[in-house]
Structure 1
Amino acid sequence: MNALEKIQRQIQWNRLVAVVEEQAQIMIRTAFSTTVREAGDLSAGIFDLQGRMLAQAVTGTPGHVNSMMESVGHFLAKFPAASMKPGDHYITNDPWLGTGHLHDLTVVTPAFRNGAIVGLFANTAHVIDVGGLGMGPEGRSVFEEGLYIPIVKCFEEGRPNETFFDFVRMGSRTPVELEGDIYSLCACNDAGAKRLVEMMDEYGMESIDPLASYIFDASLSATLEEIRKLPKGTYRGTIKSDGYESEVTLKAAMTIKDDEIVVDYAGTSGLSGRGINVPAAYCRAYACFGIKCVVAPEIPNNWASLAPFRMEIPEGCILNAPRPYPVSVRHVVGQLLPDLMMGCLHQAVPDRVNAEGSSALWNPPLRGGAQVSGAAAELPDFEIITFNSGGTGARPTKDGLDGTAFPSGVRTMPVEATENVAPVIFWQNQIRPDSAGAGRTRGGFGKVMEIGAKGEAEFAVNAIFDRVANAPKGREGGGDGASGWVGLNDGSTIRTKGYQVIPKGKRLLLKLPGGGGMGDARARDRALVERDVADGLVSPDQARALYGA
């Protein structure tokens, strides 16, 4: 391939990224659920006819993108590419064939040019409700957690599968939003297919296979080059989750070789009887993301750039849940995996690794009305979830980020958006002072949130919070971030996981964790300490005690 051809391939590659980003943005603009349009809890990508991901949208979460990368192969196993027709759309929320729990819908759509199939578009979105017990850890099997959709056609040659939509509407507390989201997912795939065909026409491409080969060869060789720069050996890490019945320990032994990185999870806690279990694809998704952030952050994310990262997940481990184990809130354990990977990599490349952060999202699913209070209900029925996060861990040369979701990457939802669609009021949503782990670079600050129902009515929360008993750890002598706290505005505590009713006249009070610090706090620039004190983020007492200022 000459230089001009390489330049043209690179331009086409960039165009693919633009195509899938438009695909994602259309989903955000047309989605019904606040989880998609406000938080961006989604993924979008283009695949070749072998089910290999060529490019992903910038908008989206690693848990969705990297597990969706595996899911397209499952669609092709049931519906081979040769059997697909224009206007077909395929859907599932199977946690073991999709992205890890029933609240995520994955849609796959073929793209056709001149009557021939040329590629596949896929997307995933987190929807508010799929029935069952709702978003929470209380289920004892996946069958209690909601409507279970196998891989089926939701549209056939442009016609909706009305039987499918009848089941969907009857199986959800929010049928309008759920049906609307499915139409949105199909529409954004159609838009991606249209843009792909326009690109192929412009460049006179009969197939995307030559471009796919270029993308995969370049991505793989670049990733292997970065792996070869790392010191070889086996590095071990441990991290703890609060768990449900008891504390959960995640262990990893990461072996860096010349041409791959292998992670063995032997010693990790066994399966839970509640919905905090993690399907293997979701484990691979977040573990690969954590490794890639450190080892090859500049290399585009696709099938080939992730291929050198291999996971060995023992059977019976909480990170390898089989059917029909409950998995509804797999994120509270799975989103700790990047911190675990960085704990291993800190021993190999300490100058490239962050301290631990709050990591697992704090997403309070809220419910009210007759489904909570029966005949005494003072509010109409509602079901809503709001996305929030504590602080991220300190970086080697920069402070952590305040109230920012890492590793999930979703946006914090504006309180106004939630108040607009549900009868709830956010009385507080502010930075939590003194929550950041001290260090040469400090962690990010957590938040304080106070939530009540309108008229101080009774409502319920399906708690799914972590990092309360196990605070985010600092590195290289940095302090731990503040642990989380869950309770009521009267100062009483409630359980960190599980369905609980907030009594009439009371409000839910959440104190989100802060990120861990990096390095000796007394080496921190005094001007930065003074700035944090002046901003009310660090108290004078903590400045004196931790920073010597």
Structure 2
Amino acid sequence: MSTETRPQASLIDLQIMWNRLIAVVGEQAQVLIRTAFSPIVRECGDISAGIFDLEGRMLAQAVTGTPGHVNSMAESVKHFLRHFPVETMKEGDAYITNDPWMGTGHLNDFVITTPAFHRGKLVGLFSCTSHLMDIGGMGNGPEASDVFMEGLYIPMLKLIDQGRVNETLMAMIRANTRLPVDTEGDTYSLAACNDVGARALSAMMEEFGIDTLAPLAEYIIARSREAVLAEVAKLPKGTWRYSMTVDGYDHPLTLEAALTVSESGIHVDYTGTSEQVRRGINVPLAYTTAYTVFGLGCVVAAEIPNNAGSLAPLTVSAPRGVVLNAPKPAPVSSRHILGQMLPDMVFGCLRQAIPDRVPAEGTSCLWNITVRGERRESRGPNHGYALTITTNGGTGGRPAQDGLSATAFPSGVQGTPVEIVEIQTPLIFWRKELRPDSGGAGAHRGGLGQVMEIASNEEAPFELLAAFDRITYPPRGAAGGAGGAAGHVGLASGATLRGKGLQVIPPGDRMVVLTPGGGGLGDPKARPAAQLAADLRNGLVTPEAAARLYGAPQAAE
């Protein structure tokens, strides 16, 4: 049957095809995870993958992946289209950038976008991103004073031209990293997953007998936008404000938010936030937007698929030059530290309007232990080792449940397995366990942080590229709940390390990391006795803390 006489797709057909698109991008993401070289991708899932229409609108994202990657990638495709118009795209092309302001917020994330063809016709775009362990410069830490010190900066370039790899670009990439094998492999894994997605899309279109995604795209975007607006309509209208003090680099910083709910959607404005700083904890606006709208989505639109339609009613602004909207060439390598605090900012605003749906503050920012050093024996062309060990503390107590312990919310990445660290590096974990009493007391207790001790099994120092927060200003409790325990970084020999910046761990000593606990929610005296007894039995709360914080007389005896 020709396309001219083919009947229009029914609503049922469109819904089935929508679900198939989600399956297609799920396959795209799994190829990326399974072929990646970097453990932070392969073991932890620090990625995003999605399909876009020819206007650059995201139609579907893989269910795995981080909000910072997904929601900023949702805007990056529009930048690719400005540089590479659709009429110039050919089969076998692929484009790349790691521009923090047109990509996903810092140089360690490569974004690759690939045009998808069906029967020789351009029908859509696949895009993906992942975190690469090392792209040169000062490394993945916050010490640089501008973005040019932070590593190799790739503008919008064509990586593959009709199937031919840009070997000059690949040589530049290999020459500007301490891990050329891993970095080259990760780049090809990104390109490969888009190719798999494009083939799966073509097969789907063949199966359903369609030659364009346009009707499906309009259906997805319209239905998703309508669904979010329907949820927004249930909320009280008005403006609510919230502020948070964070550690900063060498002085505290203030985050200020004003959240406005109206008939047309929700807007969050960060006027009043501290000015940008000279170290790499600044945040590009795209990353600020990504985590802000994710926080909104968690409360307002948790059951609605993430795409251009569901994101449209959720908007963000911040004055140019504040730490949450730092323009080029500001250093942004550790932009996740502040960016991942923003769901807590959103929750703080919404708690005043809908308190029964919002958790207390959690650790929020990843406590990534980024290490670097030399090996006693060389392992191929890589220059020593560089690894980010993903860890986190506890999340805040929730309206009907305790917070989650040692869980990476809002990033969603998985923790790096100890076995992988000990295979990839000469480091050894001497201790890794939950941190008793670190969860803030409350009717719903905050999640617990972790205690870790790490040392080299070689007689050599290693470097810590510290990028931690919640040390001076730990997560706060809400509705009468107590705050979570503050984080700490030090040496087993007794010295305290700085929360941010490059430091050397001497041979023969152990690095001790205590991640923060989440804030408690509600009056601790209202905690059910059975739950407190289970905490005591499981070693999550000590008898002394149970008596002091929860007023449990039996625990004091």
Q: Does 1:123 find its partner at 2:128? A: yes
Task: Tell which deviates more after alignment, 149-158 or 63-72.
Answer: 149-158
- How many angstroms does 1:492 deviate by? 1.6
* 1:38 aligned to which of 11, 36, 43: 43
Q: Which amino acid aligns with 1:492?
A: A
Q: Does 1:491 find its partner at 2:502? A: no
Gaps of 5+ in 1: 374-378
- How many angstroms does 1:456 deviate by? 4.7
- How many angstroms does 1:422 deviate by? 1.0
Aligned to 1:515: 518
Aligned to 1:47: 52
Superposed counterparts of 1:467-486, under 5 Å: 467-486=470-489
Q: Does 1:427 find its partner at 2:417? A: no
Equivalent residue of 2:458, what SS?
A: helix
For residues 273 and 9 of structure 2, the distance between their equivalents in structure 1, rounded to whole angstroms, comes to: 51
* 1:13 aligned to which of 13, 18, 27: 18
Q: Does 1:536 find its partner at 2:528? A: no
User: Quick check: 1:449–1:511 contact (8 Å CA) kept in 2?
Assistant: yes
Superposed counterparts of 1:210-249, under 5 Å: 210-249=215-254
* 1:285 aligned to which of 284, 287, 290: 290
For residues 366 and 141 of structure 1, the distance between their equivalents in structure 2, rounded to whole angstroms, comes to: 21
Deviations 1:461-503 (A, max 9, x none): 0100000011101111011010101111122201100001111
* 1:66 aligned to which of 63, 71, 74: 71
Superposed counterparts of 1:65-214, under 5 Å: 65-214=70-219
For residues 306 and 320 of structure 1, the distance between their equivalents in structure 2, rounded to whole angstroms, comes to: 19
Q: Which amino acid aligns with 1:128?
A: M
For residues 205 and 269 of structure 1, the distance between their equivalents in structure 2, rounded to whole angstroms, comes to: 51
* 1:328 aligned to which of 315, 328, 333: 333
Q: Which amino acid aligns with 2:361?
A: E
Q: Does 1:408 find its partner at 2:411? A: yes
User: Quick check: 1:141–1:325 contact (8 Å CA) kept in 2?
Assistant: yes
For residues 335 and 388 of structure 1, the distance between their equivalents in structure 2, rounded to whole angstroms, comes to: 14
Q: Which amino acid aligns with 1:137?
A: P
Equivalent residue of 1:412, what SS?
A: coil
Aligned to 2:369: 364
Gaps of 5+ in 2: 1-6, 377-381, 553-557
Equivalent residue of 2:123, what SS?
A: strand
- How many angstroms does 1:82 deviate by? 1.3
- How many angstroms does 1:262 deviate by? 1.4
Deviations 1:240-286 (A, max 9, x none): 21000210110001111111111111110001100000000000000
For residues 107 and 456 of structure 1, the distance between their equivalents in structure 2, rounded to whole angstroms, comes to: 41
Equivalent residue of 2:451, what SS?
A: strand
User: Quick check: 1:368–1:460 contact (8 Å CA) kept in 2?
Assistant: yes
For residues 535 and 265 of structure 2, the distance between their equivalents in structure 1, rounded to whole angstroms, comes to: 43
Q: TM-score, normalised by structure 1?
A: 0.97
For residues 425 and 453 of structure 1, the distance between their equivalents in structure 2, rounded to whole angstroms, comes to: 6
Q: Which amino acid aligns with 1:52?
A: R
Deviations 1:361-402 (A, max 9, x none): 0111111128xx9xxxxx982211111110111110011111
Equivalent residue of 1:501, what SS?
A: strand
Equivalent residue of 1:544, what SS?
A: helix
User: Quick check: 1:245–1:272 contact (8 Å CA) kept in 2?
Assistant: no
Equivalent residue of 1:167, what SS?
A: helix
User: Quick check: 1:19–1:196 contact (8 Å CA) kept in 2?
Assistant: yes
Aligned to 2:555: none
Equivalent residue of 2:277, what SS?
A: coil
Aligned to 2:441: 438
* 1:388 aligned to which of 350, 370, 391: 391
User: Quick check: 1:394–1:400 contact (8 Å CA) kept in 2?
Assistant: yes
User: Quick check: 2:178–2:383 contact (8 Å CA) kept in 1?
Assistant: no
* 2:506 aligned to which of 503, 510, 515: 503
Equivalent residue of 2:387, what SS?
A: strand
* 1:353 aligned to which of 343, 348, 358: 358
For residues 357 and 189 of structure 2, the distance between their equivalents in structure 1, rounded to whole angstroms, comes to: 39
User: Quick check: 1:43–1:124 contact (8 Å CA) kept in 2?
Assistant: yes
- How many angstroms does 1:154 deviate by? 1.2
Aligned to 2:3: none
Q: Does 1:26 find its partner at 2:51? A: no
* 1:449 aligned to which of 448, 452, 457: 452
Deviations 1:154-210 (A, max 9, x none): 111111110001100000000000000011001100010011001100001110010
Aligned to 1:302: 307
For residues 78 and 455 of structure 1, the distance between their equivalents in structure 2, rounded to whole angstroms, comes to: 49
- How many angstroms does 1:227 deviate by? 0.7
Deviations 1:37-72 (A, max 9, x none): 011000000000000000000010000000000000
Aligned to 2:272: 267
For residues 221 and 381 of structure 1, the distance between their equivalents in structure 2, rounded to whole angstroms, comes to: 52
For residues 197 and 426 of structure 2, the distance between their equivalents in structure 1, rounded to whole angstroms, comes to: 36
Equivalent residue of 1:455, what SS?
A: coil
User: Quick check: 1:456–1:506 contact (8 Å CA) kept in 2?
Assistant: no
For residues 453 and 161 of structure 1, the distance between their equivalents in structure 2, rounded to whole angstroms, comes to: 39
Identity %: 57
For residues 300 and 459 of structure 2, the distance between their equivalents in structure 1, rounded to whole angstroms, comes to: 50
Aligned to 1:376: none
Task: Tell which deviates more after alignment, 86-95 or 453-462.
Answer: 453-462
Q: Which amino acid aligns with 2:62?
A: A
User: Quick check: 2:283–2:325 contact (8 Å CA) kept in 1?
Assistant: yes
Equivalent residue of 2:465, what SS?
A: strand
- How many angstroms does 1:418 deviate by? 1.3
Deviations 1:430-454 (A, max 9, x none): 1011100111110110001111111
Q: Which amino acid aligns with 1:306?
A: L
Deviations 1:87-108 (A, max 9, x none): 1111100001100000000000
Equivalent residue of 1:301, what SS?
A: coil
- How many angstroms does 1:455 deviate by? 2.7
Aligned to 2:316: 311
User: Quick check: 2:141–2:502 contact (8 Å CA) kept in 1?
Assistant: yes
Q: Which amino acid aligns with 1:449?
A: M
Q: TM-score, normalised by structure 2?
A: 0.96
User: Quick check: 2:364–2:395 contact (8 Å CA) kept in 1?
Assistant: yes
Q: Which amino acid aligns with 2:430?
A: W
